[in-house]
A = this chain, B = another copy of it.
Amino acid sequence: MVLPINVLEKSLNTQITLLLKDNRLLEGKLVGFDDYMNMVLEDVEENKDGALRRLGTVILRGNNVITISPK
């Protein structure tokens, strides 16, 4: 059995893509997370309905997340 938290641990320092509840996509390097799946991402690129923005380092609140996809 692969626990969700194990996949996060293995994804540390790699690129991940996040789908948020407001349909926003965030892509960046996962550098940390806590027990609530709050995450720290670096070099984040946001894609909101096709409009791209560079966000740098981002703390993401875990309750906004639908899916997390390692690259």
Q: Is the CB of A58 within 8 A of B64?
A: no
Q: Are B67 and A59 in contact (CB under 8 A)?
A: yes
Chain A contact residue count (CB 8 A cutoff): 40
- Compute how far the CA of A40 lies from the CA of B67 in the bound complex, rounded to whole angstroms: 10
Copy number in the complex reads 7
Q: Which residues of B contact A66 (CB under 8 A)?
A: 20, 22, 24, 60-61, 64
Output the least CB separation between A61 and chain B (Å): 5
A interface with B by C-beta (< 8 Å):
1-8, 12, 20-24, 26, 31-34, 37-40, 44, 55-70
Given A4-B38, A61-B66, 4 more A-B residue pairs with CB atoms under 8 Å apart are A4-B40, A7-B32, A20-B66, A59-B67
